[in-house]
Chains A and B, each alone.
Chain A
Amino acid sequence: MSADLRRATATQLRAGYRSGEFTSVEVVETLLAAIAREDAALGAWLHLRGDEVRREAAAADVTYAATRTAGAAALNALPPLLGVPVALKDLVNMIGTPTTAGSKILEGYISPYDATIAAKLKAAGALILGKTNMDEFAMGSSTEFSAYRRTVNPWDRERVPGGSSGGSASAVAALHAPLSIGSDTGGSIRQPASLTGITGMKPTYGRVSRYGIVAFASSLDQIGPFARSAQDAALLLHTIAGSDPRDATSSATPVDAALLKLPQGDQAASALKGKRFALPKEYFVAGMEPGVEAAVRAAVAALQSAGAVIDEVSLPTTEHALATYYIVAPAEASANLARYDGIRYGASKHGGGDLLDGYLATRGRGFGPEVRRRIMLGTYALSAGFYDAYYLKAQKVRTLIARDFDRIWAAGYDAIVAPASPSVAWKFGAKMSDPVAMYLADACTIPTNMAGLPGLSTPCGLSEGLPVGLQLIGAPWSEAGLLSIAAGYEALSANAPWRDQDPTDLAALGGAA
């Protein structure tokens, strides 16, 4: 029973709560027990709301029990995620909980307000299980830059979960939560989803409010869902999406109701017939692991067998995306992180010498090496005399990258299919001494952020026993379409042996368990 509750999707949990098959308290206790047993080894969590969640689950169960007697219509009117546990990446502010963004500079900081998505999740009845580990300020691709702890990949304890949303990805992959929230500035949802074998989506820029999300790079950051199915990801996205009067960059485009009516099974598979997919040759970069390429091409072949049309296309600006990203993102970050000055909150080293000494000590000791590196990069790129050559030029290239994608949509393609990561999960430390090698891990995901487009990673097999993700990239606001395609691919591959396989090291995480 408890093993099944761990594996249950959010959709299955909702159904079970409504029918009375099991309770939210049982689910929460199962997950908390697994976390207690395994997280010392997994390292996914930075903060748990154990006692609060137990109380909230009990309250949800009372509501379900009371409503069940009132009939199906009343049950349907309940908040969509009532009693469903969700994990938050530790850059989502939630009133009364610590928010560290994985940084020592925010050690001990307790959020005095709710991010818009935290408020939306609460209103939807979700139980916020806790906050998950991440690369400091979302800067990294392995979660190794967390100032707090190492998060391992449940498929191999010697390997990284990807990043920066590694905690949220590993928590869902290791069956510690059915759903989690991540943020994706250059691939930080899709790449860890790929490396841990789950579904992760970065929505269109402006689809989900950024109010209350600790900023990395404002023009690139988007919040999105992790889940173990496309249907669950769509359910979570529907809950958090929408325009927000507190985020001037959020879009007024209505949230697509199709997110709640994703085709399933045969229906989803047959909907692939006649779909047109573009396969960009530039995404099969030099250095891509053969096993990854093989898994992605096999998935593409499966789509083709299901009646989809695949055309190889060219996105010639792809090779410039990484370089321009490493101008734009650090430039914005250098300003966004200026507020961590030790004056109002967080760790402070003021008081010894003069004001400058206080700044230098606070920021020099509070920020880790990767954050310091990017602040320096960004400060340099914005400096007088360099602005035109770097920042301004990068913005122009960004426009060209967006135009490359526009041509694909103008040609009538439903989506781009590509790898989400050039490699499977790597061993700890393998890229820590070489920043550029680490940056290249996001080569397949960064162009999407630069163009503001939606993208997802859905599992498409294993290479050397480790998960590989198929990336789907779509036109603006095509989230429901992309998730429908992912649901179709799930149906096509439902009988593949890797589909029902637990992460290899899951059992080992809890020792004897």
Chain B
Amino acid sequence: MSWEAVIGIEIHVQLRTATKMFCPCAIPAEGDAPNTRTCPTCLGLPGALPVPNRTAIERVLAVGAAIGAKSPATTRWDRKNYFYPDLPKGYQISQLDLPLAEHGSIPVTTSAGAGSVRIRRAHLEEDTARLRHEKGADGTRASLIDYNRSGVALLEIVTEPDIRDGETARRYAEELRLLLRTIGAADAEMENGQMRVEANISLRPSSDAPFGLRVEVKNMNSFRSVERAIAYEMARQAEVLDAGGTITQETRGWDEGSETTYTMRAKEDSHDYRYFPEPDLPPLDIDPAWLAAIVAGLPELPGTRRARYVSELGLTDYDASVLVAEPRAAALFEAARAAQKELDAKLLANWVSGEYLRVAKEGAADPDPVQFAALVAAVASKEINGTTAKALFAEMITTPLSIREVIASRGLGQISDTGALESIIADVIAANPQAIADWKAGKQQAVSFLVGQAMKASKGRGDAALLGDLIRAALDR
């Protein structure tokens, strides 16, 4: 029979802060030696106390504002008590009933069209340490603890059970990540563990039936695995139910290799965390002026920006999505447009999503937007050709340069003068009798070869389209 899936997503994201949530320790970087980013507070030493990180609080309030959530007039911190070696104090400082943001939503577009996912709550908490289980040379097993991550500020954001399929879950996670990156709240690199997605999945026979027993799925380390793990889990549960079986409430892990989920741990009787208000931290009043300043500081959000690119600038949905999906690209696009107001938006968008994104993904630095705009403007006016433009672009991301000066001083202006090009063509035809023979034998690609030779002879400055026309005309003669 057919089943409807009910899916809720819980995501933990490391916030972008210079220091940890409750102590002055720096955020650990890749390659830091274990237990070097620690202090009495994040090690849970006797007598140490927490002091909240204001930036982390502002980041969550900004997320709340960006998803249209409400923030309470006063919030507070709560202790979540449990014993585990990665939790140095024996409790995690979190937020129980006064989260920093509640009742928001995120617009999500899927292959089925535009929709949205409601957000139940977003709150702040501290990360745990990392455990490593190792076997020594003599075969003895040891569990090692690295407290570098202990106390790093985490945003926990929980959806309502609005999601019905893996694609929507994936798109929600992607859209959340984009939002977080756009407002600067987080880098949310999934592969580095900065964003951890967990899905609660249950099936029911129809949309008015009560929720079924749910399974929690973890260890999905990419957006692709979020989509596939949910699809797998939906199919697995349907198979169990179709066979007359019952779903076991449990936590399952996604195995990337076999593309299956497996039982991680059976759900113990719901854990009693003995939450109570954190007595080491006074309640926090959220001053309306403070909140208003945070809202005022929000940049244009991804959904708004995409819509504007399509309606105002005439970009396609696809081009708009590509630009907006990478905040650095959108920022370059905006800055270049600001520098050259008359610049053709589509040409600029092509340069940003083409050349720029290609080198940006390889780790290149951003070009100066004013010079980048000048470069694209020179292409638009046909002052330089594409080959010259790409060479200049490659140069400008490593060396600051003035496009106007370089074009003038190096004589890079495109040669569109028919007389000058024809003398070059005459030399090229004379030097390549084999190509002429090929052309006469009907090989059209001989023209491309000759254009290439002519371009080389023009030191890359020839107008490629014009060269093609002139060569064909010369051959016809």
Contact = CB atoms under 8 A, between A and B. Distances in A.
**A and B: partners?**
yes
A90 to B, nearest CB: 11
Of B46, B90, B91, most buried by chain A (CB within 10 Å of CB) is: B46
B40 A379 contact: no
B262 interface: no
A109 B40 CA distance: 14
Given A248-B282, A387-B276, A339 B46 contact: yes
Interface string B42-67: 01111111111000000000000000
Contact of A99 (B46, B85, B91): B46
Interface in B266-297: 272, 274-276, 279-282
Contact of A113 (B45, B83, B272, B276): B45
Contacts of B85: 341, 343, 355
Interface string A315-350: 000000000000000011011011111011100000
B81 interface: yes
A332 B91 contact: no
A335 to B, nearest CB: 5
B46 A101 contact: yes
A505 B295 CA distance: 70
Nearest to B280: A218
Interface residues on A, range: 35 or more
B386 interface: no
A257 interface: no
Interface in A349-371: 355, 359
Given A339-B89, A382-B81, A218 B47 contact: no
Nearest to B90: A338
Interface of B: 40, 43-52, 79, 81, 83, 85, 88-91, 145, 272, 274-276, 279-282
Q: Which 7 A-B pairs have the closest CB atoms?
A: A338-B90, A218-B279, A382-B274, A219-B279, A212-B47, A339-B44, A214-B46
A249 B79 CA distance: 16
Of B51, B274, B280, B281, most buried by chain A (CB within 10 Å of CB) is: B274
B81 A332 contact: no
Contacts of B45: 93, 112-113, 339, 344-345
Contacts of A219: 279
Contacts of A63: none
A382 B46 contact: no
Nearest to A219: B279
Contacts of A338: 81, 83, 89-91
Contacts of A247: 49, 51
A382 B47 CA distance: 22
Interface of A, secondary structure class, is: loop
B48 to A, nearest CB: 7
B47 A93 contact: yes
B48 A212 contact: yes
A87 interface: no
Contacts of A249: 279-282
B91 A113 contact: no
Given A101-B46, A214-B46, A345-B45, A248 B90 contact: no
Interface in A179-229: 210-215, 217-219
Contacts of B46: 91, 93, 99, 101, 106, 109, 111, 214-215, 339-340
Given A109-B46, A212-B48, A214-B47, A382 B276 contact: yes
Given A355-B85, A379-B274, A391-B276, A335 B90 contact: yes
Interface string A224-256: 000000000000000000000111110000000
A382 to B, nearest CB: 4
A344 B274 contact: no
Given A214-B46, A245-B51, A332-B279, A383 B83 contact: no
Contacts of A359: 83
Interface in A85-115: 91-93, 99, 101, 106, 109, 111-113, 115
Contact of B44 (A112, A246, A344): A344
A246 B274 contact: no
B276 A335 contact: yes
A93 B47 CA distance: 7
B272 A115 contact: no
27 contacts: A91-B47, A99-B46, A113-B40, A210-B49, A211-B47, A212-B40, A212-B47, A214-B47, A215-B46, A218-B280, A246-B49, A246-B51, A247-B49, A248-B50, A248-B52, A332-B276, A332-B279, A335-B79, A335-B91, A335-B276, A337-B90, A338-B89, A341-B90, A343-B88, A344-B145, A345-B45, A355-B85
Interface of A: 91-93, 99, 101, 106, 109, 111-113, 115, 210-215, 217-219, 245-249, 331-332, 334-335, 337-341, 343-345, 355, 359, 379, 382-384, 387, 391
Contacts of B51: 245-248
B123 to A, nearest CB: 18
Contact of B81 (A101, A115, A213, A335): A335
A343 B83 CA distance: 11
Nearest to B143: A355
Given A218-B280, A343-B88, 17 more contacts: A109-B46, A210-B47, A211-B49, A247-B49, A248-B49, A248-B282, A334-B274, A337-B90, A338-B83, A338-B91, A339-B44, A339-B45, A339-B46, A339-B90, A341-B85, A344-B88, A387-B276
Given A249-B281, A338-B81, A213 B90 contact: no
A334 B274 CA distance: 10
B88 A339 contact: yes
Contacts of A111: 46
Contacts of A345: 45
Nearest to A215: B47
A384 B272 contact: yes
A77 B44 CA distance: 38
Of A99, A217, A218, A245, most buried by chain B (CB within 10 Å of CB) is: A218
A112 B39 CA distance: 10
A112 to B, nearest CB: 7
Nearest to A213: B47
A92 B276 CA distance: 26
Contacts of A115: 47
Nearest to A101: B46
B90 to A, nearest CB: 2
A339 B88 CA distance: 6
A220 B43 CA distance: 23
Nearest to A217: B279
Contacts of B282: 248-249
Nearest to B80: A335
A217 B279 CA distance: 8
A108 B79 CA distance: 29
Of B52, B275, B276, B281, most buried by chain A (CB within 10 Å of CB) is: B276
Of B44, B47, B49, B79, most buried by chain A (CB within 10 Å of CB) is: B47
A399 to B, nearest CB: 14
A217 B79 CA distance: 14
Contacts of B79: 335
Contacts of A387: 274-276
Contacts of A214: 46-47
A110 to B, nearest CB: 11
A332 to B, nearest CB: 5
A101 B45 CA distance: 13
Contacts of A212: 40, 47-48
A231 B275 CA distance: 44
